[in-house]
Amino acid sequence: MRVIPSALRCLLLALLLLPSAALLFGERPAIDSIDPPDWFIQLPDPMLLIHGTGLDRAKLSIQAHGVEVERTRVSPNGHWAFLWLKTTAAKPQMIDIVATNGDGRAAHPFRLKPRTEPAGAHRGFDPSDVIYLVMTDRFADGDPASNRPASSPDGYDRKKVRGWHGGDFAGIEQHIDYLQSLGVTAIWTTPVYDNGAMPESYHGYAATNYYAIDSHFGTLDEYKKLSASLHAHGIKLIIDLVPNHIGVQHPWVLDPPTPNWFHGTLANHPKLGGPNFNYDRDIYNLIDPHATAASKSLLADSWFTDAMPDMNQENPLVSQYLIQNALWWVETAQLDAIRLDTFQWVGRPFWHDYHAALHAAFPHLTTVGEVLYRDPVLTSFFAGGREHEGIDTGLDTPFDYPVFFAIRDVLAHDKPMTELSAILRQDSLYPHPDRLVQFFGNHDQTRFFTEAHGSLPRLKEALGLMATLRGTPELYSGDEIAMPGGEAQTTAGTFPVAFPPMGLARRRLLFRPPRALRISSLRLPGPLLCWPLARVILSCKAPPRRISSRMTPRWFSRAPPALRDATPACRKMRFFLSSTRARPHAL
């Protein structure tokens, strides 16, 4: 038998007693982070979410002038604390958030800022605008130094369809003149949240920090600079926010601030599926007043995927956190509008409170929600301006997915134009059909050019419909140059010729499509479609004309941007649809 020296026995005993000693004598508190990282005094009084250690045995206080602590709440494990501040009488200042106990003190700085109201921000969008969807990672690489950040050094690989390809804020800013040449007046970028080391998360929809910019794209200052540059050129900026879910690598997943922070846990959470589940049938439970609560919650509370935990907006703490997050982004980056992901999977009471807070703070801000389904009966249920179940969501408009699917059916699959007119006849379901955002392509769908079997005339007809249907047109980056692409978010591809950064001499070739398209007639001096001209294709003073496939890309590209000045009256023009055997789709 081996004898352990007495000194070593004493050391081992001390190590074993350390946890008990910490419980007996406490531990010095620590504060690692605070959400939000700062706040604006003219916005509603904030709730701070503090992360640290030893907070359960600490007294929370502040060192500030004119700021009061209303109440606090601490998680049992001492890792999280909620601190409600009253800032109504406060002036801009740097304050300290302090945690104190008998073993020590921790302080964390927190800045209260004044709101700024530049004339060019928070303007919202309307049918006079043209929205351009950019998946940031796939548009232009303006700063190659950001391609391999410390959080994901091996993710950059342009040979992989789902790898990071290097697009960033600098790349967008360097191509503002291109956006202007298209007649674009608003940019919608996919989410800018930090996605950490989440695999294949170039799309941005798996946040690991709601208040941080993904370092692949740049920094918060660079995002604010992009916003200012776009506004200086008359272009609005739309942020993509995702209150429904986060990425599984978010620190909350293994250490939630409250037990019901999510719908379920990583080990045990609701999922869609099963032998009796039918999506096209069961999705109507969301709008059926006779459906059971269990059938509704199965849809609304299920995790999007196992890698995307579903936030519990019925928890008032989660609700306030997410509402504050939206207010913070809009004010911090001077944003004009918000695109809201997976809108139908979040409860109406939350959306009502969300929009009430946003519209009170930013009266001209607009929101557009993703309700991905082809039936306007379901899509219109989520539009703001009308109560269902006694609640108005407040949403300014949903995307017009019913028209999207009808356009695809007609132009890519040779169904008659009556498919589209049948959808448009149901416009009365919407409180404001004139606000609907029209599109024929986005990052979740097969590229139109691919689905239409490489037909350039069909693509031009789709562009013509976008330019003349009611609502606000949205164009997916790359569709203007007939980019091909497969299903889901792989459709983003890499914007041709825009990688890496280039000089003006090379950028003149930007509008030529990839050689793989083999369409010699598309060697253009300008973009495929000039939106300002497209908006006056149908003259308000002349009878409606058919969008002719004989209109060549070169004819479109010669239109001067100044034609936009002549288009305001065309917002009120009427369109007519017809269908014949010889011409199944005509406008």
194 and 209 in a single domain? The answer is yes
Q: What's the rounded Cα separation, in Å, for the pair 300 and 302? A: 6
pLDDT at position 519 over 80: no
As a whole number of angstroms, the distance between CA 27 and CA 164 comes to 43
**Both tokens assigned to 243:** 């209150």
Tell me the CATH number at 35: 2.60.40.10
Specify whether 205 is located in the same domain as 279. Answer: no
The mean pLDDT value of the chain amounts to 82
Residue 84 is assigned to a structural domain of this protein: yes
Question: Other C-beta atoms within 10 Å of 60: how many?
Answer: 21
> What is residue 30's three-state secondary structure?
strand
For strand 104-113 and strand 472-476, is the pairing parallel, antiparallel, or unpaired?
Answer: unpaired
What number is the average pLDDT over the span 443-457? 94
Q: Using the 3D structure, point to which of 54, 80, 113 is the last residue of a domain.
A: 113
Residue ranges making up the domain that contains 287 = 264-302
Eight-class DSSP state of 496 = T
In angstroms, rounded to a whole number, what is the distance separating the alpha carbons of residues 549 and 106? 70
State the pLDDT confidence band at 546, using cuts at 50, 70 and 90: very low
User: Do residues 109 and 168 share a domain?
Assistant: no
Identify the three-state secondary structure at position 569. Answer: helix
Report pLDDT for 198: 77
Judge if 457 and 492 occupy the same domain. Answer: yes
Is 347 a residue whose pLDDT tops 70?
Answer: yes
Is 190 found in the same domain as 59?
no
Is 155 inside a domain boundary?
yes
3-state DSSP call for residue 256? coil
pLDDT higher than threshold 90 for residue 384 = yes
Instruction: Work out how many domains the chain is built from and give that number.
Output: 3
- Tell whether the model's pLDDT for residue 561 goes beyond 70: no
- The amino acid at residue 299 is L
Residue 526: phi and psi, rounded to 5, are: -150, 180
Same domain for 103 and 143, yes or no, is no
Tell me if 587 is assigned to some domain: no
Q: Which residue has the tokens 């009611």?
A: 470
Q: Among 348-352, 493-497, 499-503, name the most confident range.
A: 348-352
Residue 572's pLDDT is 43
| pLDDT, tens only, 104-120 | 999 999 999 999 877 66
Span 358-369, pLDDT tens digits: 999 999 999 999
Asked whether residue 2 is domain-assigned, the answer is no
Q: Are residues 196 and 245 in the same domain?
A: yes
pLDDT score at 26:
62
* Predicted pLDDT of residue 488: 52
Beta-bridged to residue 460, according to DSSP, are none
Does residue 5 sit within a domain? no
Please give the share of the chain, as a percent, with pLDDT higher than 90.
Answer: 65
Contact between 323 and 338 (Cβ < 8 Å): no
Contact 309, 206 (CB under 8 A): no
Q: Average pLDDT for residues 413-437, to the nearest whole number?
A: 95
Q: Would you say residue 154 lies in a domain?
A: yes
Mind spelling out the 3-state secondary structure of 307-351?
CECEECCCCHHHHHHHHHHHHHHHHHHCCCEEEECCHHHCCHHHH
Residue 579: pLDDT over 60 = no
- With contact defined as beta carbons under 8 Å apart, do 445 and 491 qualify? yes
Copy the structure tokens of residue 260: 């019901």
The arithmetic mean of pLDDT across residues 514-526, rounded, is: 28
Residues in CB range of 90: below 8 A, 6 or more apart = 41, 64, 65, 66, 67, 112
Query: Among 538, 493, 555, 511, which residue's Cα sits nearest to residue 179?
Result: 511
Please name which of 411, 419, 505 lies closest in space to residue 454, comparing C-alpha atoms: 411
pLDDT at res. 151: 76
Amino acid type, 31 = I
Determine how many CB atoms are found less than 10 A away from the CB of residue 371: 24
Q: Which residue in the block uniquely carries the two structure tokens 């250690």? A: 53
| 119 is a domain residue | no
pLDDT-wise least confident of 18-27, 315-324, 339-348, 430-439: 18-27
pLDDT value of residue 21: 44
Tell me which of 497 and 25 has the higher pLDDT: 25
Q: Are 136 and 190 in contact (CB under 8 A)?
A: yes
pLDDT, tens digit (0-9, with 9 covering 90-100), for 136-169: 998 998 888 877 777 777 777 777 877 778 889 9
Contacts of 114 by beta carbon, 8 Å cutoff, 6+ apart: 40, 41, 42, 92
Determine the pLDDT at residue 508.
Answer: 31
Q: Are residues 163 and 108 in the same domain?
A: no
Q: How many CB atoms lie within 10 A of CB 545?
A: 11
**pLDDT above 80: residue 518:** no
Cβ-count burial of 584 within 10 angstroms (0-12 exposed, 13-18 middle, 19+ buried)?
middle
Which of 308, 328, 176 lies closest to 242 in space, CA to CA? 308
pTM, full prediction: 0.85
The verdict on 231 and 318 lying in the same domain is yes
Q: How far apart are CA 282 and CA 472, in angstroms?
A: 30
What is the CATH number for 141? 3.20.20.80
Are 100 and 164 in the same domain?
Answer: no
Q: What is the pLDDT of residue 430?
A: 98
Tell me the pLDDT tens digit for each residue of 266-322: 999 998 887 888 989 999 999 999 999 999 998 999 998 899 999 999 999 999 999
Which tokens go with 421?
């007119």
Q: What is the pLDDT of residue 567?
A: 44
Contacts of residue 493, Cβ cutoff 8 Å, sequence gap at least 6: 138, 447, 478, 483, 484, 485
CB 552 within 8 A of CB 543: no
Q: At what angle do helices 316-333 and 220-232 cross, to 10 degrees?
A: 60
Domain assignment present for residue 376? The answer is yes
pLDDT of residue 563: 36
Of the listed ranges 49-58, 110-119, 414-423, the one predicted with least confidence: 110-119
Gap between the Cα atoms of 324 and 305, Å rounded: 25
What percentage of residues in the chain have a pLDDT greater than 70? 78
What is the CB neighbour count within 10 angstroms for residue 143?
A: 16
Strands 236-241 and 397-398: unpaired
**Tokens at 230, concatenated:** 């776009």
Residue 520's pLDDT is 23
Alpha-carbon separation of residue 527 from 234, 407, 554 (angstroms):
20, 22, 9
DSSP 169-234: HHHHHTTHHHHHHHT--EEEEPP-EE-TT-TT-TTS-S-SEEEEE-TTT--HHHHHHHHHHHHHTT
- Answer yes or no: is pLDDT of 564 > 60: no
Q: How is residue 5 written in tokens?
A: 């020296």
Select from 113, 146, 177 the last residue of a domain. Answer: 113
> Based on the domain organization, do 271 and 215 belong to the same domain?
no
Compute the average pLDDT of residues 44-57: 97
Alpha-carbon distance of 140 to 502, in angstroms, equals 10
- What pLDDT was estimated at residue 20? 43
Asked if residue 453 and residue 546 are part of one domain, the reply reads yes
The enclosing H or E element of 368 equals: strand 366-369
